Amino acid sequence: MLGTWSLVRFLHVVSAMIWVGGQLTITAMVLPVVRRKLAGPAMLPVMTGVGRRFGKFTVTVFLPLQVGTGVLLAWHKGVTWSSLSDPGYGRTLAAKLVAFALVMLAAGGHGWARGSGHPVLARSLAIGSLIGSLAIVLLATALPVS
Amino acid sequence: MPTAPVGLTLDRTGSAGAGGGGLDRAGRAHWHARANAVVLGYLALAGLALVLHAQLPMPRWLAVHLLLLGAVTNAIVTWSEHFAVALLRAPAPSRRRSAARLAVLNLAVVGVLAGVSLEHAGLVAAASVLLGLVVAEHTGTLLVRAHRSLPGRFGRTVRFYVAAGVALLVGATLGALVATGALGHETHEALHAAHVHANLLGWVGLTVLGTLFTLWPTVLHTRMVDGVMRAAMWCLALTTAGLAVAVVGFVLDQRPVAIVGLAGYAAGLAMALRPFVATWRRKRPYDLASWSLAAATGWLLAIVLADLVLLARSADLATYLERLDELVPPMLVGFVGQVLLGALSYLLPVVLGRGPVGARAAARALARAWPARVGALNLGVVLIALPLPDPFPRLGWALVLAALTGFVALAVPVLLAGRKPAPTPTSTAESVTVTHSPTTDSHPPVATPPPAAAASRRRNPALIGLVIGAVMTLIPVGIALSGDAGSGGPATVVASEATQEVPVTLVNMDIRPGVIEVAAGTRLRLVVTNQDAMRHDVAFPDGPKTRLLAKGQSQTLDLGVVTADLSGWCTVPGHKAAGMTLDIKVTGGSAPAANGSAGTSGSMPGMNHGAHGNGSASASEPSVTTVDVHGKPGPGWTPYDATLAPAPGGTVHKITVRASEKDMEVAPGVRQRMWTFNGTVPAPTLRGQVGDVFEVTLVNDASMGHGIDFHAGSLAPDVPMRTIDPGESLVYRFRADFAGAWLYHCSTMPMLAHIGNGMYGAIIIDPPGLPKVDREYVLVSAEQYLGPQGGIADMAKLRANAWDTAVFNGYPDQYVHAPLTARVGERVRFWVVAAGPIEGTALHIVGAQFDTVYKEGAYLLRAGNADRGAAQVLDLAPAQGGFVETVFPEAGHYPLMDHDMRRGENGAHGVVEVTP
């Protein structure tokens, strides 16, 4: 049944899709090509530009939308703080939140490392963030149907 | 046919690599890459078992054995051969034979893992025999090689490997006996302790000790200190003899023998420490391998000492065994795992790297972020080892897992590189493992590989990212899959697939879920985990049954294809009645009712078969015991002596109370298996003065958990009133601050069953200034809810208060058969405590009046009171107590009875025979 709550869930899923897909596209598709084709000084501004743009999208669109719809969905589902430790739905959701926090830390760390001249660390964190995002999706699919 | 070129497998600096050259080294690298890939594979699986523990049938067992039987045993067989050859300067072993040995070994390992997981005793036995054969062949080969070789300086350390092999033969045999349950339940725990010690301290411990004498200085790049071999031989003698004595002590259940043995082992360790510390003082640890080995040695020492202290401080072997399990995880991670990681991070580059440059590059690859990894691992072990509340051990395991993941992730590329064909060797000079050039303290200059290659090798972002991502995945997935206990679990689990595995938790005297719905034709497996402090099992009539599970233990029950409703329950007496039942309901399709023999309790409330007016009686009760309340006691019956002696002198009363089961005649023609304190029902009456201290040692000699609760003292019940398992004991110390006639009883749930089955008694604290009288008797009133002949009390009758007889001091009409006595004019005091568990009492003596009544801490009447008052009945609610006094006016037979006639005419009856 299409309704308000399916719309909220739609926004939650779509924005996650775009964010994970965006990371995958940039890390696995765009940047390797850039690195190969634009060796030398031309490479840096392109990479920084792409990263900045994606970072801006993350902070202004993705994060507010994801956290907002997430909180709404949890409220709708009747999730409480104490229920997060219950086995099954609660604990899976808690694990997903932990994974989300870790991925956000890694993504933030990536931005910082890129800006302060630690390219290897930055790339490592980007790859870690991408894999961690997949873990979030895995946990999301493990949540019982709501 | 000569199979291998004769040459030294381990090169020494300079020219000793006779005939070896690049080819042999490449072959060796290839061999070690493959053999150690197996080790890494088991390590990774052990880590996975840790993460997925909630999903596995026997997670703890599986993780432990993937590490020890998988990774460590493979490593030991591979590396002890390697070291033996080097130490003995023996010819290189036949690769084909080594490979065949490893193949058979892993067949045996997989067989044991599969056999135990699938609970297939035959497979376990066969695989254990195979394992024993492989290790015997390996050990025998070492022995022959040691025998044939020229006497070398360090060759004698190979004896450690031989002793370790013998220890594994013993340990594996014990393990197989434990796993298959071949020797029955009673010996299980003693064999288990022997198995753990033989394998951990013997197979792993002796191998590591023997290797450390030479490996430790090698890793530190320094010379051996003087007197190493003397210390080594002392160490070998003490550790092997000590271990042998300890294992025998455990098997025979002789704690003092085991203590002596463990102390011997610890003394052997101390011998090994001397050269270890002397070497350390010459050169401090400085890298991953040396710090790992140092920390691992520290953990070995700490845990052996902790083991010794625990064993010495435990009251008996059973108490010790309960806590031994707590030592195993820090031992496995801190000592075994860390030694493996440390040794491999030194050895892999040496055997895999081609030439010093390659070896150093590989060593650098393995050493990435090593201080953080070593720190994380050891912090993790500390968090696991200390008795900290919940989030800390979990954090500890996460740290350990992160360190393990890091090592496996770094070692895989090194191994992959080792499998590739060798480039042309640039140099044959290589400083390896055992012996050293005199100039070892000076490091060779660091080679400078091409800058680009160095940069990409040193810090590969894809690899680091992979590790970060893996950790970020494992932690949340671990959280999501962790523990199935807790309050929020659904009451009903609906299972529908063809094969269904359902986790079942035993907690708070409950089976959760209580109902499982499955589609007809589903193959159902229950993963039963006990989270309760008490032991439980789950059994299905005519079906499978778990063993008695202690807290934290799990077992999988395969119910096969389910076509009809089933009921299971915990068979510990009283637990089924307390609600520990599990119903399997078949849904969908035509679910035929269970066949009659399945003994299901009527599942529909309205469908009670049978015509009991009193609907309480259970339909499943096999036989109803009829009792002739007023019949004659059987031959050999002796009455319970009601005479109460004065309080013993002294202000501290040290008493041992033993909980035990005893078959006894409880009514004419009825024998029951009673649960008793000190073998009588009621339990012995205790007596003291106000202010006295009672120090009661409760020993549980019974086959189930029991506890004790003294109403005569005031204290927090948490610890002294806890339930202890069979074989355990506790000390319950209280001061009797207040006077009264108090009840004491078993404190284990369901108390209705435990008190109803005989675990009650009286403790009398005299009111200050209590006058001396001519005679004192004590009467403990109770009811009997007779179960089948020779069985225990009927729980359904207990719950319905459908008692068969009422008794004073445990037997109906007891003092009709053996009257109490008094003389005319004597003052007689009757102490009364109502044990129940459900009924009270209304004590009356026909023909007598009570001029003194004391009830629940206060005199209601005193002799010679101004009002000339007297009483006819002492009425007590369950667990209340008091006394009455009377003076019999003339000779005769005075009936003593409960004036509630239902009880008074059904056993709560006696006679006081008064003579002139």
Which of B20-24, B234-238, B266-270 shows the lowest mean pLDDT across its residues? B20-24
Pairing of strands B827-836, B775-784: parallel
B444: its two tokens = 């060779």
Chain A residues touching residue B479 (CB < 8 angstroms): 91, 94-95, 98
Q: How many residue pairs from chains A and B have C-beta atoms closer than 8 A?
A: 102
- Mean pLDDT of chain A, nearest integer: 86
Nearest chain A residue to B468 by CA: give it.
A128
How distant is the Cα of B455 from the closest Cα of chain A, in angstroms?
10
Instruction: Report the b/e string of B167-203 with b at 16+ CB within 10 A.
Output: bbbbbbbbbbbbbbeeeeeebebbbbbbbbbbbbbbb
B470:A88 CB<8 A = no
Tell which A residues from 73 to 102 touch B, by Cβ distance under 8 Å: 83, 85-88, 90-92, 94-96, 98-99, 102
Interface test with B, best of A92, A97, A131 (most B CBs within 10 A): A131
Amino acid at B866: A
pLDDT at B585 over 90: no
Q: Are B768 and B795 in contact (CB under 8 A)?
A: no
Q: Compute the distance between CA of residue B732 and CA of residue B720 in angstroms, rounded to an integer.
A: 5
Chain B residues touching residue A120 (CB < 8 angstroms): 459, 461, 464
pLDDT category, B451, cuts 50, 70, 90? very low
Nearest chain A residue to B489 by CA: give it.
A87
- Using alpha carbons only, give the angle B814, B817, B818 rounded to the nearest 5 degrees: 85
Side-chain half-sphere exposure of B540, counting CA atoms within 13 A: 21
Amino acid at B364: R
C-alpha distance across the termini of chain B, in Å: 112
A114: its two tokens = 């890129």
Nearest chain A residue to B459 by CA: give it.
A120
Q: What is the pLDDT of residues B644-655, one digit of tens each?
A: 999 888 888 889
- Indicate the residue of B459, B468, B477 with minimum beta-carbon distance to A125: B468
pLDDT category, A1, cuts 50, 70, 90? low
Chain B residues touching residue A81 (CB < 8 angstroms): none
Interface test with B, best of A27, A97, A124, A138 (most B CBs within 10 A): A124
For chain A, how are helix, strand and coil distributed in percent, rounded to 5? 85, 0, 15
Q: Is A123 on the interface with B (CB under 8 A)?
A: yes
pLDDT category, B16, cuts 50, 70, 90? very low
A123:B490 CB<8 A = no
pLDDT at B750 over 80: yes
Chain A residues touching residue B484 (CB < 8 angstroms): 87
pLDDT at B621 over 70: no
- Indicate the residue of B462, B485, B490 with minimum beta-carbon distance to A127: B462
B486:A87 CB<8 A = yes
Average pLDDT on B566-575 reads 80
Nearest chain B residue to A103 by CA: give it.
B472
Better pLDDT: B588 or B658: B658
A91:B470 CB<8 A = no
Average pLDDT on B487-501 reads 52
A78: its two tokens = 């009747």
Interface test with B, best of A91, A104, A139 (most B CBs within 10 A): A91
A126:B482 CB<8 A = no
pLDDT at B826 over 60: yes
A127:B464 CB<8 A = yes
- Indicate the residue of A95, A128, A142 with minimum beta-carbon distance to B468: A128
Q: What is the pLDDT of residues B893-903, one digit of tens each?
A: 999 999 999 99
Nearest chain B residue to A99 by CA: give it.
B476
pLDDT category, B823, cuts 50, 70, 90? very high
pLDDT category, B708, cuts 50, 70, 90? very high
How distant is the Cα of A25 from the closest Cα of chain B, in angstroms?
16
How distant is the Cα of B433 from the closest Cα of chain A, in angstroms?
35
How distant is the Cα of A110 from the closest Cα of chain B, in angstroms?
11
pLDDT at B9 over 70: no
Nearest chain B residue to A97 by CA: give it.
B476
Percent of chain A with pLDDT over 70: 97
Calculate the alpha carbon distances from B598 to B76, B510, B539, B609 in Å.
Answer: 51, 22, 12, 16
Which of B488-497, B841-850, B877-886 shows the lowest mean pLDDT across its residues? B488-497
Q: How many CB atoms lie within 10 A of CB A42?
A: 10
pLDDT category, B455, cuts 50, 70, 90? very low
Q: Compute the distance between CA of residue B31 and CA of residue B342 in angstroms, rounded to an integer.
A: 20
User: B390 Cβ partners below 8 Å, 6+ apart?
Assistant: none
Nearest chain A residue to B460 by CA: give it.
A120
Q: What is the pLDDT of residues B306-364, one digit of tens each?
A: 999 988 888 777 778 767 878 888 888 899 989 988 888 888 887 776 667 777 888 88
A127:B484 CB<8 A = no
pLDDT category, B440, cuts 50, 70, 90? very low
Q: How many CB atoms lie within 10 A of CB B94?
A: 12
- Indicate the residue of B465, B479, B480 with minimum beta-carbon distance to A128: B465
- Indicate the residue of A85, A124, A138 with minimum beta-carbon distance to B464: A124
A87:B489 CB<8 A = yes
B475:A98 CB<8 A = yes
- Using alpha carbons only, give the angle B358, B363, B364 rounded to the nearest 5 degrees: 100
Which of A31-45, B71-85, B761-775, B839-853 shows the lowest mean pLDDT across its residues? A31-45
pLDDT at B32 over 60: yes
A87:B461 CB<8 A = no
Q: What is the pLDDT of residues B243-292, one digit of tens each?
A: 999 999 988 888 889 999 999 999 999 988 888 998 888 888 888 889 99
How distant is the Cα of A11 from the closest Cα of chain B, in angstroms?
24
- Output the pLDDT for position B615: 35
Q: Compute the distance between CA of residue B100 and CA of residue B121 in angstroms, rounded to an integer.
A: 26
Tell which A residues from 124 to 143 touch B, by Cβ distance under 8 Å: 124-132, 134-136, 138-139, 142
pLDDT at B416 over 70: yes
A87:B479 CB<8 A = no
A138:B462 CB<8 A = no
Q: Scanning the structure block, which residue is given the tokens 């009645």?
A: B577
Collapsing DSSP to helix, strand or coil, B1 comes out as: coil
- Output the pLDDT for position B448: 36
Q: Compute the distance between CA of residue B564 and CA of residue B540 in angstroms, rounded to an integer.
A: 13
B197: its two tokens = 């010690």
- Output the pLDDT for position B745: 94
pLDDT at B622 over 60: no
| Closest of B786, B59, B64 to residue B483, by C-alpha | B59
Interface test with A, best of B458, B479, B512 (most A CBs within 10 A): B479
- Output the pLDDT for position B755: 94
Nearest chain B residue to A126 by CA: give it.
B465
Q: Are B161 and B210 in contact (CB under 8 A)?
A: yes
Q: Are B831 and B686 in contact (CB under 8 A)?
A: no
Residues of B engaging A, defined by a Cβ cutoff of 8 Å = 459, 461-462, 464-473, 475-480, 482-490
pLDDT category, B768, cuts 50, 70, 90? very high
Chain B residues touching residue A91 (CB < 8 angstroms): 479-480, 482
- Output the pLDDT for position B186: 62
- Output the pLDDT for position B59: 66
- Output the pLDDT for position B437: 37
- Using alpha carbons only, give the angle B473, B475, B480 rounded to the nearest 5 degrees: 95
Which helix (H) or strand (E) is B153 found in, with range? Answer: none
Nearest chain B residue to A130 by CA: give it.
B469
Most confident option among B52-61, B455-464, B546-555: B546-555
Nearest chain B residue to A124 by CA: give it.
B465
- Indicate the residue of A126, A138, A139 with minimum beta-carbon distance to B465: A126
B477:A139 CB<8 A = yes
B488:A92 CB<8 A = no
- Output the pLDDT for position B55: 60
Which of A80-94, B265-279, B300-314, B442-456 shows the lowest mean pLDDT across its residues? B442-456
Average pLDDT on B49-59 reads 67
Average pLDDT on B844-862 reads 94
Chain A residues touching residue B483 (CB < 8 angstroms): 87
Nearest chain A residue to B456 by CA: give it.
A120
Collapsing DSSP to helix, strand or coil, B740 comes out as: strand
- Give me the phi and psi of B696, to 5 degrees please: -105, 125
- Mean pLDDT of chain B, nearest integer: 80
Average pLDDT on A4-33 reads 89
- Output the pLDDT for position B354: 62
